[in-house]
Structure 1
Amino acid sequence: MNRQDDFAMLQRQENGAPLAYLDSASTSQKPTVVLEAMRAFYQKSNANVHRGNYQLAEEATEAYEGARKTIADALKVPSSTIIFTKSTTDGLNLVAQSFALSEVQPGDEILLTVAEHHANLLPWQRVAQQKGARLRFVDLNANGEIDWAAFEKKLNQKTKLVAFAHVSNVLGSVAPVKALTRLAHAYGATVVVDGAQAIGHFPVDLKDLDVDFYAFSGHKALGPTGIGVLYGKSALLEEMAPVQLGGEMIETVTKTSATFAKSPFKFEAGTPNIAGAIGLARAMTYLEEIGLSQIEKEEQGLLSYALKELAKLPEIVIYGPLSAARRSGLIAFNVRGVHPHDVGTILDMDGLTLRAGQHCAQPLMTALGVSSTLRLSFSVYSQKEEIDRLILSLKRVLEVFS
């Protein structure tokens, strides 16, 4: 069976050609089973959660909390450590506001890499500005990977927090999360990981990785938009104060005071995105039905083939590791002498969707010495034939601009 049959969007035609969706790092397409799960909730079980004691409300609550457990089980952590958010960005901002602002003190240091997405940079900039802390940055090595020696050299007793991406959203390089976390913990630093480009591409065991916080978005992992997950270690979550206040996140309320519920409920004020959580859980089970190790193997094959074919075109400049085994899910590249937006326009005419731009990573663009790049990215529905179409279209680009 062609896995693309599971995705209604992929039956679409673009400019008379079959759609080759190669921008999954921006947002993934959604399988029909995810859409059906969300529709079934709205049609058969729609009620608010954690409120009513009637059957419909109990069904909705069971489905919502069941979704939390499904996601927690997939990540090998307790349900109480899984907080539903709007997105990766929302989760990282929650850590910054609820944890970092109270923990970071004047003179402390926050260690990042130069490759971070703005969502894993701007919140720490604000914390540093508000608390009088110092931001420090680790450069990348020639392969576009975190420089281990530089990382360890910049850790010290002042390092309060370390934040980095599991997978770079531009270079595709995979961080050695467990090893970096061990190093950071040796200095007493808290580790925050942006997992937006990792979930859905290979198995992630948060218990084994031992990170303190881990955030990701549903929409990049075959789930709906508007739903994300923040994992936090239980001891840290219990110490943190909620950022948003309102309904169903309290234990008691008087006219002048309140006490809050335990995690994760104290972080989920108001009516949550119930259908989004259900949709994300169904996306996770869809991925597990295929097998995340199988998905990783298939994507490694696509990456290897794409890197090999792109390298045959001398005008193509590839950024990041040249070995498929050292990257995941995506490839950033440029065509010498041609602006990425011009290339993207021609590719679009051939039904190929690639992102052209700075990918919300301007400091990395500066480090690479470019204004922007093209980005090719895969998911479970990507096919080798789409890479062949891309190479043909790139040859047409070269002809046009020769």
Structure 2
Amino acid sequence: MSTDKSHDALPGRRRFLAAGLALASAPAFGLSKGPAPPDSASREFDAFVLEQMRQARIPGLAVGLARDGATRFARGFGYADIDSRRMVDVDTVFHLASITKTVTATAIAWLHEQGRLDLDEPVARHLDFPLHHPRHRGAAITARQLLMHTSGISDANYYRIDFRRPGRDADLSLHTFLRDYLVPGGEAYSVEGCFSASAPGAAWGYSNVGYAVLGELAARVSGEDMRELTRRELFAPLGMTSTFWTLADTPAARSATPYLTTDNAYLRLSPIGSPDWPGSMLRSSIADLTRYVAAAANGGATADARMLRTQSMAELLLMRQPAQLPAWLSGQGLGWMQARLGDRTLANHWGGDPGVFTAAYLDPNTRCGVAILCNVTATDASKAAIKNITLRLLSRPDEMY
């Protein structure tokens, strides 16, 4: 799950669309990447998903199921763009929002595997700007704390200022953003707004800025932009050819249009860019994301590629209970979180931003994973729909292939 910001869009970033879209009549679109499921099971599942979409007023949705390191199916439903009636398919690109954090965590774990980074050493020794908690100068901030949201770096000023840009990538570089936010004298710096009262390692506090630091740390340790590192060492081996770090690289013709629902309309939003890209800016298709989820649920490997050693993947999914962990979580791992879903306890991460709501669930015990992408701002109804679809898949996975 995520505590991403999800502010209403500004009037200049949206326009009214026709009200009353009949989602229940939208045909399923998108072919399975694995063996085709039985016709009866396929029809039943399609009807179930479309009903969940209708109830939650979700314009477009993509869903993937992985098991034993392989994609069992990936499908699209509804509209990627309402005006043009362009349908969602398995290659439609969605904004992943905070699921991005699990990818950044994987990159950090890979660097740890390579012996380039100790998760428990002070990260400040690798950076070219000072990083310390101004209220607890004797306590170093480590990569493990950043991964677990226990670094003491606060998002208060991050939400107050809103660094996002509609329709384009961020103006600020990651490095400039971090210096402005974390270094005394920076334009976004304040003790109260940038750091919590808790010492590093003492308490949980969700931090988008903390994950931005991890992206900069990866660059300083590896000698290259983390985006290039992940393209070569993660996306390419897994065959993820429709995964993009920037809006400039994302093909508009294949992108899901983000929407906000009102009582009687769908409001079209602009995609957003933000300088804290290591925590929120990745975009991907369900075909690609399901490959990634397949590896994560299967000890770090798919049938033909390995992204992490089994021990490293297990460490990402080792759940702890730091102080002040919110009630909706039962554990915090490195990047991945843990929560109850029905009668199961699953590793997961949600993502949300204007016009997008995403979720990924892992069940390492059964080596199953589910990914779901929606092009609508999260609501209570859409959250319930995503949970219902995930439970349906994990309780009856054998029916789907």
Which of the pair is proportionally richer in helix?
1
Normalising by the smaller structure, the TM-score range is: under 0.3
Q: Give the greater-gyration-radius structure (CA).
A: 1
